[in-house]
Structure 1
Amino acid sequence: MGRFVAAALADIAADPAILIALAPWLPADARSALEATGYFKSVSSSPAAPPAPRASGRMTAAGTDFILLQGGPYALGQMRGELASFGLAASEATVAEFARFLAEHPEWNAAARDSLVAGGLVDDGYLSGFDEANGNEPVRYVSRAAALAYCRWLSDRAPSGYRFTLPSEAQWSYAAAAGLPRSGILLEPGRSGPVPVTALVPDTVGFKGLLGNVWEWCADSFAIQPAAGVIGRESFPSAEGVVRGGSWANQPGIVDLSSRGPMLASTSSAFLGFRVALVHVTD
């Protein structure tokens, strides 16, 4: 029990906003006592918003176009922090790009679905309809493990000193704040799937499809309060990953750029894809 309490306190110290999520579940007297503390008030207050993120240019790496973002302070839920500079792909990873990965790694092909399901890496929907899909559409029906495997493969082609990965939730949110205003690819009459990335209109800094089209995997484990961009949670890791941005199947007005949700890391659905982040090897 002592180790459990110590781990819980360490997690709260790393992510104080956890207290906000816990408060409604406490007995009334305990909740009142917690909410009366100066510490809770400081955590639950809304600090000043940091300055808007700034794009610093573009880079093409391993055949993918990246928007480069200057590092700086960020806001994610109640958390405030500092991000190093990074790049985020202008578009979601496509069917054609993922097909090149599969050609070199047949262990991730649809033919290997049963073994991947048995290993907890994907679900039964993995790569459904992949062979019939438009090569310029966002790749869908991919789990977080499959997306990360793609990023590791792509990292063999990364510029010196860099690697590819999924963005942290903090990075995704930071990038989404850099290029406004933005229209979304959301549900409308006649729409039955995502729009090819080549047909999307970029926002003011060059991103396509951040709002709608497909939900996008982040690298983080899910927490009710965003965990300050930490990749996973050391003490209490979650089986659910974070997805951001909404999809073509969401009604307008239901999702926006702050929309987030939990998804089992093995989920492979028609509404879910990813885009790649470019980070320094030390990050």
Structure 2
Amino acid sequence: MSFGPKNMAWIPGGEFTMGSADHYAEEGPVHRREVGGFWIDVHPVTNAEFRRFVKDTGHVTTAEVPPDPEDYPEASPDQLVPGSLVFTPPGHPVSLDDFRAWWSWVPGAQWRHPEGPGSTLHGRELHPVTHVSHLDAVAYASWAGKALPTEAEWEYAARGGLDAATYAWGDDFLVDGRIMANTWHGRFPHENLRTDGYERTSPVGAFPPNGYGLVDVCGNVWEWTADRFTQDHAMASGASRSSGHQCCGPSGRSSIEGQGHEAERQTSPVRNVIKGGSHLCAPSYCLRYRPAARQPQTLDSSTSHMGFRCVRRLDR
């Protein structure tokens, strides 16, 4: 008997229906896509796994490095400090037109301190690592002898063999009354009922696996992919384009907040696709805890609801 890589599942190659015509424009057009077989992490990379990588390599994450002043000429010095974006729920209803009502640039926030200085990973060793940029995810994958999945690989694996289903487990949000993923319950962003048992991230595997044995492909944290974002995802990778309304939050360092205003990046940053939605996705605002869902994210973005998992292909 042969065994595959630890904590990875084999996904046999095949053809599937990619995208959706029922939700957001950037998920179309629906088309058939073929992928070869590959191994994929059963769960998103955890804090414990990322800690081993940092201990072995000395890697310094993007969130631990001050933003480049040349990218943000309008920023004040107190804004140009290491930090990351943290979900900070308001205590009352707010307009959903301005993400600054529930996101804050927090100096000192990074993967070891998810809510900022004073917060720790105690009790969260098996939660997905967060506050990791695409650059950090690629560095980890290289260290592990793996790679980030393409968008097609990620979606094919997340579907678990259920071609064209709405969710990773079928077409109904609940299965026999059971909640299947860590998503938002209540009125976003001020009311979190925690019906699923969690206020923020959850331990990997807290919810049922899909047909391929993968957990947390919907909800918990968004996941980085290797592909550039294009509005039409049937196109080959190319220049990124905005999808308009940004689900749950902004694109990381492209909007560093401080003193009640934004310091906007002066360049046109490259954006990659993130998949799967997060614990902040609410049906009233961001119905993206589905395999077909996709968002653009700048490569230097880091937030409290974004992580990744890796693949290993047969040619590696």
Using the size of structure 2 for normalisation, the TM-score is 0.59
Q: Which amino acid aligns with 1:264?
A: T
2:35 corresponding residue in structure 1? 83
Q: CA deviation at 1:185?
A: 1.2
Q: CA deviation at 1:234?
A: 8.1
**Number of residue pairs the alignment of both structures matches:** 210
CA distance in 2, matches of 1:71, 1:185: 28
1:272 equivalent to 2:306? Answer yes
CA distance in 1, matches of 2:281, 2:39: 27
Larger displacement relative to structure 2 (74-83 or 95-104): 74-83
1:249 corresponding residue in structure 2? 280
Q: CA deviation at 1:138?
A: 0.3
1:186 corresponding residue in structure 2? 183
Larger Rg: 1
Structure with greater helix percent: 1
1:59–1:219 Cα change, 3 Å: farther
Q: CA deviation at 1:82?
A: 2.4
Larger RCO: 1 or 2 (CA < 8 Å, sep 6+) = 2
Q: CA deviation at 1:143?
A: 0.4
1:234–1:193 Cα change, 3 Å: closer
1:199–1:75 Cα change, 3 Å: closer
1:240 equivalent to 2:271? Answer yes
Aligned ranges for residues 190-209 of structure 1 at < 5 Å? 190=194, 191-209=198-216
1:171 equivalent to 2:171? Answer no
Asked if structure 2 preserves the Cα contact closer than 8 Å seen for 1:59 and 1:68, the reply is: no
Residues 164-197 of structure 1: CA distance to partner in whole angstroms, max 9, x if unpaired?
1111000011112225526221013133211101
CA distance in 2, matches of 1:234, 1:265: 13
Structure 2 unaligned blocks of 5 or more: 20-28, 72-81, 85-109, 162-167, 171-179, 186-192, 242-267
CA distance in 2, matches of 1:207, 1:100: 22
Using the size of structure 1 for normalisation, the TM-score is 0.65
1:214 equivalent to 2:166? Answer no
CA RMSD of aligned residues (A): 3.0
Structure 1 unaligned blocks of 5 or more: 1-57, 156-163
CA distance in 1, matches of 2:307, 2:151: 15
Q: Which amino acid aligns with 2:153?
A: Q
Q: Which amino acid aligns with 2:148?
A: L
Larger displacement relative to structure 2 (68-77 or 164-173): 68-77
| % identity of equivalent residues | 27
